[in-house]
Amino acid sequence: GGSAMAAVRDVEIDPEGTFKYILVCLQRPGGGEQRDIVRGTKAAEFHNHIFEKVNPEMEKLGYECKCLGGGKIEHNSKDKKIRVFGLSTGYGKADHSVTVEILKKEYTDYEITWSDDKK
């Protein structure tokens, strides 16, 4: 059922600062349900470090993961602002507009913007 997928959080990002993020598509093998999730952390020096952590976790739950691209997130919790920008050299640029829609579900009272700026 949808319970395992519902248990996967849409967004897991650091509470503060500027850091790399990736947009990941989860899918049940053979089609079926799928959804996109956002993961970002300062702990990751490269975008693939995030994917390498997420992928085994999701495989355990029975999902195939595909990285749809990456970028950076600037999270200002004091001003309740999130900015999505930049790209991943390895995975290419995520569709930041999709990322913003996912972030809005979690951070409902935030001002969330995106751009194709590198910095």
User: To which residue do tokens 């519902």 refer?
Assistant: 6
The DSSP call for residue 84 is E
CB burial readout 79-94, b (16+ within 10 A) else e: eeebbbbbbbeebebb
Is 96 annotated in the active site?
A: no
Set 47, 49, 75, 96: catalytic member:
47
User: Is 20 known as a binding-site position?
Assistant: yes
Binding site members for substrate: 20
Binding site members: 20
Active site residues: 47
